[in-house]
Amino acid sequence: MIPALTERDAHVYRVNTAWFPTQMQLMAQLNGRWHGRLITPRGPVELEELTAVWYRSPEAYAMPHQLSPGEAQHALVEAKYGLGGMLGSLPVLWCNHPNRVADAAYKPVQLARASIAELMVPDTLITNDADTAHEFTLGGPTVTKLVGGMTVEEDGVRRNVYTRLLSEADLADLRGIEHTAHLFQRWVPKARECRVIVIGEHLTAAAITAVSEGAHVDYRTGCNSLSYELIDPPTEVAAGIRALMDSFGLVYGALDFVLTPDTGRPGARAPGQLRSASTPRHPRRRHGLARTRPLRPDHRHLLNSPATASGATHWPSSRSPSSACSRCSPSTRRHSNSHATHRQSASPSR
């Protein structure tokens, strides 16, 4: 992205939120909007010259080691609402604004809005009651996946959690389901899956073909053996995706769909976790601040819809790229899928 912006005469700054406050200084004064600067290890950033922010997996603020635990927690909160709130108020193009990302983080909200947008969503149940779950599975093959996470950590080891097709053995022993909310969804027969990348008005979709049985349930379990093909989505599906994005106020999103074997039409799972550019999983990447001199039409176009988001796509239904593995399925008593989402301002502290 940085080389592409530079080619268009844009000035780009990369800012790591973990620099604040030990390596980065903030000086901002309110005069209609916030004016001032950030002094970073890579040089000053003038707030009034910013025109766009690419917000991706920010790191937590790093508080000075000499602070006591109580002081560090206080400083962390003040940094979140001070620096984060100030940046979040800037009248610039956000991709995506952190508050919009926080709104879109809840899978039940995603599924409800996908239905309103007339995207096909399979029958879905959220419950912590074993009898209700068992009754739901009588309607046909069922998968389970996490409601609000993608990994589970135990003994210092982080494990990916994948969508799991429930077996008779699973259904015979649902102990542990009462400990938290679990999501169950009707299994939709599929020929392939499809990942759709949305950036502005541009949609790029790729059909994903899995080889192994496990990857057929969740393609993430067989990444080394997958094959891909650019396809074009039907007009009504593209319209539904845009309506869903608009309802959340998102500029960027990555959605997963199921391609059904019979018609190849959008057939169904749930439009998954809108993994937006700013939904932090493992916080590694940085805040990207872009300043142009002044914006020419091609600059603005790039920020809204990069050239990498070409058209392409032909297809079928929506699903959630979420997860559920053998360790976190209802049949595994020692683990339950915890779901914690928290609203974050422009520079969240986690």
Residue 10 within any structural domain of the chain:
yes
Residue 45 within any structural domain of the chain:
yes
List the beta strands (DSSP E) in the chain.
10-15, 25-31, 33-40, 43-46, 52-54, 93-95, 124-127, 142-145, 151-154, 157-160, 164-165, 182-186, 192-199, 202-209, 227-231, 252-259, 287-292, 317-319
Residue 232 within any structural domain of the chain:
no
Residues 66-115 pLDDT 10s: 999 999 999 999 999 999 999 999 999 999 999 999 989 899 999 999 99
In degrees rounded to 5, what are phi and psi of residue 85? -65, -40
Residue 178 within any structural domain of the chain:
no
Residue 90 within any structural domain of the chain:
yes
Residues 101-150 pLDDT 10s: 998 989 999 999 999 999 999 999 999 999 999 999 999 999 999 988 78
DSSP letter, residue 300:
H
What is the model's pLDDT at position 78?
96
Residue 28 within any structural domain of the chain:
yes
Domain limits at 60? Answer: 2-96+278-303
Residue 67 within any structural domain of the chain:
yes
What is the model's pLDDT at position 262?
67
- What is the rounded distance in angstroms from the CA atom of residue 344 to the CA atom of residue 350? 9
- What is the rounded distance in angstroms from the CA atom of residue 226 to the CA atom of residue 240? 27
What is the model's pLDDT at position 307?
27
What count of other Cβ atoms lies within 10 Å of the Cβ of residue 44?
11
Q: Alpha carbon 227 to chain centroid distance? A: 23
Residue 308 within any structural domain of the chain:
no
pTM for the whole structure: 0.71
Name the 3-class secondary structure at 67: coil
Q: Burial level of 306, CB count in 10 A (0-12/13-18/19+)?
A: middle
The total number of structural domains in the chain stands at 1
Would you say 317 and 258 are in contact if contact means Cβ atoms under 8 Å apart? yes
